[in-house]
């Protein structure tokens, strides 16, 4: 085989391997949710809309390290990763969840831990349904309504635009693991209900399987993803990280200009980190001590930079500060 043929074959193999995301099998037929959701809507929604998100997501991750990453983890930084990942990754995740919580023979009430949590948080299942319907009705344009588990393991209701969801950085203060999502894009209901979103929202409870939602709740409550979301929501830590990355990496390549001009910013970000609230899972003595070390280390570095200390001294000081920062990162991961 000549080199050209060989590389074409290799390309085909790598192409086949890299299409990592695919439509999850539907557990019921297109007409199984009639009369509440019609067969034509189901078929178009699944084979065209959802398939479209899958195809575009595969294109977006192809050849990048994201091709190896689980989707839920990828979505934690969806906004930072750009619109292709945010819209299509969100579209794939959201619809996969949606199909899985619908059933022609649904359990009409939650069970186990979820039943208890709903009672404690909303008073009753009816109040929760009402809260979800309000969130879904008020969502202007396309989007979703959510029931999700927050990083401090509470239940909460929200809505999001487009294909966003509570996993994402884009969700701001309303973050967590979604366990129930209602699609309120017109493509989810227009053929049968036209503009009457309220009628669709009234009907959907007839095919909503609370057994699945109860399982999702138990999984979410013990998921390591909650800690990752909580850490990602710690914006003061992210802000410090940004300046650290933008000064440390150039220094590694011999460019000392960023650290010499921005050392004061590191002091400022370290002080902001110390004075802003620490998320509850990370509010430990070890982390507070490390944040103090970060302030002292960055002040020392800043002094050195102002005195125009030589490169090797600046490097030692920044290396030490970088180590302290990674200590904090490490402490946050377990
Ligand atoms: Mn949809």
Confidence (pLDDT) at 15: 45
- What spacing in Å lies between the alpha carbon of 176 and ligand 1's midpoint? 21
242 & 161 share domain: no
pLDDT tens-digit map of 204-255: 999 999 999 999 999 999 999 999 999 999 999 999 999 999 999 999 999 9
217 & 242 share domain: no
Structural domain harbouring 84 = 33-224
- What spacing in Å lies between the alpha carbon of 33 and ligand 1's midpoint? 15
Please choose, from the candidates 80, 68, 86, the residue with its C-alpha nearest in 3D space to the C-alpha of residue 21: 68
pLDDT bin (cut points 50, 70, 90) of residue 5 is low
Report the alpha-carbon distance of residue 96 to residue 94 in Å, rounded: 6
pLDDT bin (cut points 50, 70, 90) of residue 10 is very low
- What spacing in Å lies between the alpha carbon of 220 and ligand 1's midpoint? 23
pLDDT bin (cut points 50, 70, 90) of residue 303 is very high
- 118, 148, 218 from 214: Cα distances, Å: 10, 12, 7
Report the alpha-carbon distance of residue 195 to residue 190 in Å, rounded: 6
- What spacing in Å lies between the alpha carbon of 261 and ligand 1's midpoint? 48
- What spacing in Å lies between the alpha carbon of 327 and ligand 1's midpoint? 42
| Secondary structure letter of residue 107 according to DSSP | -
261 & 213 share domain: no
- What spacing in Å lies between the alpha carbon of 287 and ligand 1's midpoint? 42
189 & 56 share domain: yes
- What spacing in Å lies between the alpha carbon of 276 and ligand 1's midpoint? 39
Four-residue CA torsion sign, 206, 47, 182, 137: negative
89 & 140 share domain: yes
Residue 174 covered by a domain: yes
Residue 10 covered by a domain: no
125 & 206 share domain: yes
Report the alpha-carbon distance of residue 100 to residue 114 in Å, rounded: 17
| Secondary structure letter of residue 277 according to DSSP | P
Confidence (pLDDT) at 277: 94
327 & 206 share domain: no
288 & 264 share domain: yes
Helix (H) or strand (E) holding 159: strand 155-161
- What spacing in Å lies between the alpha carbon of 106 and ligand 1's midpoint? 20
Helix (H) or strand (E) holding 32: none
- H helices, E strands: number in the chain: 17, 3
Helix (H) or strand (E) holding 178: strand 177-183
- CATH number, domain of 105, equals 3.55.40.20
- What spacing in Å lies between the alpha carbon of 146 and ligand 1's midpoint? 14
Please state the domain count of the chain.
Answer: 2
The SS3 of residue 36 is: coil
- CATH number, domain of 308, equals 1.20.120
- What spacing in Å lies between the alpha carbon of 83 and ligand 1's midpoint? 17
**What is the model's pTM?**
0.88
Residue 7 covered by a domain: no
The SS3 of residue 214 is: helix
């Amino acid at each position: 085989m000549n080199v050209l043929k060989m590389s074409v074959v290799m390309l085909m193999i790598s192409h086949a391997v890299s299409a990592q995301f695919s439509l999850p099998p539907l557990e019921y037929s297109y007409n199984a949710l009639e009369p509440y959701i019609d067969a034509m809507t189901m078929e178009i929604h699944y084979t065209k809309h959802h398939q479209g998100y899958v195809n575009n997501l595969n294109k977006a991750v192809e050849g990048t390290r994201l091709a190896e990453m689980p989707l839920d983890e990828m979505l934690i930084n969806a906004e930072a990763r750009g619109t292709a990942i945010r819209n299509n990754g969100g579209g794939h995740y959201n619809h996969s969840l949606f199909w899985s919580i619908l059933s022609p023979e649904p359990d009409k009430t939650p069970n186990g831990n979820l039943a208890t949590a709903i009672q404690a948080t909303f008073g009753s299942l009816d109040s929760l349904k009402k809260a979800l319907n309000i969130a879904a009705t008020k969502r202007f344009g396309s989007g979703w309504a959510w029931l999700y588990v927050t990083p401090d393991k509470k239940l909460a209701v929200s809505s999001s635009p487009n294909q966003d969801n509570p996993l994402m950085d884009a969700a701001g203060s309303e973050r967590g693991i979604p366990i129930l999502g209602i699609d309120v894009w017109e493509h989810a209901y227009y053929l049968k209900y036209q503009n009457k979103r309220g009628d669709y929202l009234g009907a959907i409870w007839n095919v909503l399987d609370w057994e699945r939602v109860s399982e999702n709740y138990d999984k979410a409550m013990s998921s390591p993803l909650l800690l990752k979301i909580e850490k990602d929501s710690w914006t003061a830590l992210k802000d410090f990280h940004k300046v650290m990355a933008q000064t440390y990496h150039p220094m590694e390549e011999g460019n000392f200009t960023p650290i010499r001009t921005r050392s004061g910013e590191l002091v400022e970000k370290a002080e902001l980190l110390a004075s802003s609230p620490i998320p509850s899972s990370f509010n430990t003595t070890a982390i507070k001590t490390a944040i103090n070390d970060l302030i002292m280390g960055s002040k020392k570095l800043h002094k050195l930079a102002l005195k125009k200390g030589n490169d090797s001294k600046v490097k030692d000081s920044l290396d030490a500060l970088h180590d302290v920062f990674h200590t904090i990162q490490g402490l946050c991961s377990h």
